[in-house]
Amino acid sequence: MLKETSCGAVVYKMTQDGVPIFLLVNSKRSGRWGFPKVHIENGESETETAKREIFEETGIKNVKFVEDFRQEDVYLINGALDETKGCLVEKHSVYFLALALEDALDFDKNEISKVEWADIKKAQEFLSFDNQKKIIKLAYDKVIGG
């Protein structure tokens, strides 16, 4: 079985009222809401990959990663790339928690149809997969609990 690893982040900022809101991206390919993530390139660390993808998908260049937050989602998919087409692939998606130090300025309109800042309730309604809902709840708890 082939294995793929992607890295990304749950990106958040605080409202003036001290409420965390989370940045979700809507994929043009799948139509699903999720977090910015991408495959690791040769020589990149997991956090370098996550930071690169946050910038590429949302235009946010300045983020601060929250210590002690690394969540890994593991699931099986049918391969979609030429080299994996028709093969079962064990997909590992690693997520960090990142505080946005600026607003989303522009986003990759080739891959992303929309970006949305959402509070925890709205974010959980938007997200399609239970594992993503669990990860954003853990992120929310980390932000409000310190």
Q: What is the CATH classification number for the domain harbouring 97?
A: 3.90.79.10
Please give the helix or strand (H or E) that residue 126 lies within, else none.
helix 120-126
> What's the pLDDT tens digit per position in 25-41?
999 988 999 999 988 88
Q: Using alpha carbons, select from 29, 27, 38, 35 the residue that is nearest to residue 5.
A: 38
> What's the pLDDT tens digit per position in 7-16?
999 999 999 9
**C-alpha count within 13 angstroms, C-beta hemisphere, residue 55:** 9
**C-alpha count within 13 angstroms, C-beta hemisphere, residue 66:** 23
Sign for the pseudo-dihedral over CA of 29, 42, 9, 4: positive
- What span, in angstroms and rounded, lies between the C-alpha atoms of 87 and 108? 29
Q: Using alpha carbons, select from 78, 80, 98 the residue that is nearest to residue 88.
A: 78
What pLDDT, on a 0 to 100 scale, did the predictor assign at position 106? Answer: 79
DSSP letter, residue 48? H
Q: What total number of domains does the chain contain?
A: 1
Segments forming the whole domain that contains residue 89: 2-145
